[in-house]
Each structure stands twice: as structure tokens, then as C-alpha cells.
Amino acid sequence: MQRFGIGLAFASLLATQAPAAEPPRRFKATTEKDTVAWQEESRKFLAEALKLGGLPGDKAIKAIPFDTKVLRTSRQEEFTLYELELNATRGRRTKAVLTTPIVEGSEKKKFPAVVCIHGHGGSRYIVYDPLSLYRGFATDLARSGYVTISVDVGQHNVYEEGRTLMGERLWDLVRCVDYLVTRPEVDADRIGCAGLSLGGEMAMWLGAMDPRMKATVSSGFLTTVANMRKGHCPCWEFSGFSENFDFADIYGLIAPRALLCQIGREERAPGGFPVDVAESAMADVRKVYAEFGKKDKPILDLHPGGHVYVNKTTIKFLDDEL
């Protein structure tokens, strides 16, 4: 498969660009009506900047056939695990892990579903691994009665010409949502997403750009553009983003839907996601939620660990919201 690399020179340029004094598209609304208008306009602008080819949920995207192939099936005590291959686009196939709860007898029941997202150096399997920094959160969700799905998040190669790295990553997650809503055991009104690190970043993007996400868990990412320029991989940047927004604005696109952000108290800069930065960013996120009368809806969970996932908090949050 042909790969279109991000390029070291371009990456270096992105890492050293000075941010604008006040990005022009940052949240400034003072009424709920203006906030909704800002969200809608921001999603349209970002969909173009990401080169998505449309907004999540668009009929043209959902119309792409999945042509799903089951590669392997494994029955566990509480759930069935499937390894699948399906169409990401009309010209590219991708693989996914899907779990569905086991239902005894002929009872037909619909379950909530979660898109589980890994970060740098991970794979679709690692979110199910209890020995990883993800603490097997997807397995815990599967055991708790959730449908789960996970795909490989693109690392530093763009696989189709005319796309962006961040856009292609997000596209594949949106396709997970499109696939979930076709499953007979999934309640389409109870879908969420969760991830750690780059996975937390992508959960933010999926929650922000796809209103079908009723609950979002972003672990190990809540931050600012200024912090991401210090010791972090520059793959988060794309043309049109930091010139116009900060990350709090993207989280603000999730409002008024449920949002949980996890940050470990042992996180450090550079290259980490420190608590003081997260608290400052959350204060800006809450300004967006306040215009919906839900200032306390976004939750910031400061746990005692480092750059790891916290399963118990996630499951309680999703049980409450989904």
C-alpha cells in the first residue's frame, strides 16, 4: 500500500511555528443560540481543514458499503470477540476488533456501544490488554455489557492521497460509528468513545465532530496548543487548526453532551500533560458548557497515577450517561 509520509522538515516547521496571539475562531459566544451557531460553523470549517470529505453521519459517507468479512470468532465468558475486515473507504480496507455481549436464549436486546481508541505505538488489540497502560479498559467494558469496537489508529503515514493524517485517523473512527449503528444489538442512541493519549486526543475529535457520541472519555490528553509544542510529537497539527483554535475549543464542540477527562497527577512537562495545564483548559471548556446551563457537566478526574487509563471512573461515567 502506498504511503504518503508527513515529512521531517514539515514536522519540524510545525513544531516551531509561533501561535497566533488570539486564534480568531476561538469560542467567544455569550448565548446558547450563538454557541450552537459557533459549533456548527466550527465543525464545517474543521471538516474541510481535516479533508474529511463531509461531516460525520453524512449519507454519502454512510453509503460506502462495509463488505464485512469475519476473520476469527472467539467466545469468552461474558462476550464474543470478532476480528473483522471491512471497507474504510471505497479503496481501502481496515481491520477491527468487535465484542458483543452474550445473550442467552432467543431474547433480542440492544446494548450501549463504545469506540475504544489506542495511542502512539498501539494497535486495535492493546486496549483489551490489562497489562498495558490502557489497563484493558475495552475488556472491562465488554464484560460490563457494552458492545466495543477498536481499529488501528494511523501513526505517521497517510494512506490515501488528498487526505490529512488527523483527518484519516478521524475518518476511520467515524466508520466505526457508522458500522456500529448497523449492528442489530447496538442502541444507536447510546454510543460513546474512549481513549488514552493519542487515543484521548482522537476521542476528543470524535466526540467533537460526531454528535452521535453521547459520552466521551478523553484520558491523558486535556491540554493546550502551547503545551503540545513542548516535547510532543507534532502529528496533532494540520493546516487551519492552531491558527484558529485551541484544544479547549474542540472539547467545547462536545457540549452539552457528557465529557470526562482523566489526567494523572504524576504527568509532567515537557512531553506530558500536567495538571495545571489541564485545569486551565477545563476552565475554558466549561465556558462553552455554561452557555447551555451545564457548567458542571464536563468532569475532570485527577487520578494519582501517571499516563495510564483509569477503568473504574470510566465505567461509572459511561453507566451513568449511556
Tens digit of each residue's pLDDT (9 = 90 or more) over 99-149? 999 988 767 899 999 999 999 999 999 999 999 999 999 999 999 999 999
Per the domain annotation, does 173 fall within a domain? yes
Residues 191 and 111: their CA atoms lie apart, in Å, by 9
Per the domain annotation, does 3 fall within a domain? no
Mean pLDDT of 59-63: 86
Residues 79 and 99: their CA atoms lie apart, in Å, by 6
Per the domain annotation, does 186 fall within a domain? yes
Confidence of residue 61 (pLDDT cuts 50, 70, 90): confident
Per the domain annotation, does 11 fall within a domain? no
Residues 258 and 294: their CA atoms lie apart, in Å, by 10
Confidence at residue 2, expressed as pLDDT on a 0 to 100 scale: 44
Instruction: Please indicate, yes or no, whether the overall pTM of this predicted structure exceeds 0.75.
Output: yes
The 3-state DSSP class for residue 159 equals coil
Confidence at residue 106, expressed as pLDDT on a 0 to 100 scale: 65
Confidence at residue 260, expressed as pLDDT on a 0 to 100 scale: 98
Residues 296 and 290: their CA atoms lie apart, in Å, by 8
Per the domain annotation, does 160 fall within a domain? yes
Per the domain annotation, does 15 fall within a domain? no
Confidence at residue 200, expressed as pLDDT on a 0 to 100 scale: 98
Whichever domain contains 225, its CATH number is 3.40.50.1820
Closest CA to 84 of 154, 148, 166: 148
Confidence at residue 14, expressed as pLDDT on a 0 to 100 scale: 47
Backbone torsion region of residue 135, taken as left when φ is above 0, otherwise alpha when ψ lies between -120 and 50, otherwise beta:
left
Confidence of residue 8 (pLDDT cuts 50, 70, 90): very low
Mind listing the pLDDT tens digit for each residue in 224-267? 999 999 999 999 999 999 999 999 999 999 999 999 999 999 99
Mean pLDDT of 70-86: 97
Per the domain annotation, does 9 fall within a domain? no
Residues above pLDDT 90, as percent of the chain: 89
Q: Is 125 exposed, middle or buried (0-12, 13-18, 19+ CB in 10 A)?
A: middle
Mind listing the pLDDT tens digit for each residue in 259-297? 999 999 999 999 999 999 999 999 999 999 999 999 999
Average pLDDT, the chain: 93
Per the domain annotation, does 17 fall within a domain? no
Look up the domain containing 150 and give its range: 25-321
Confidence at residue 105, expressed as pLDDT on a 0 to 100 scale: 72
* Number of domains the chain is built from: 1
Q: Is the pLDDT of residue 12 over 50?
A: no
Q: Is the pLDDT of residue 30 over 50?
A: yes
Q: Is the pLDDT of residue 9 over 80?
A: no
Confidence at residue 140, expressed as pLDDT on a 0 to 100 scale: 98
Confidence at residue 33, expressed as pLDDT on a 0 to 100 scale: 98
Q: Is the dihedral of CA 203, 210, 164, 41 positive or negative?
A: negative
Q: Is the pLDDT of residue 190 over 90?
A: yes
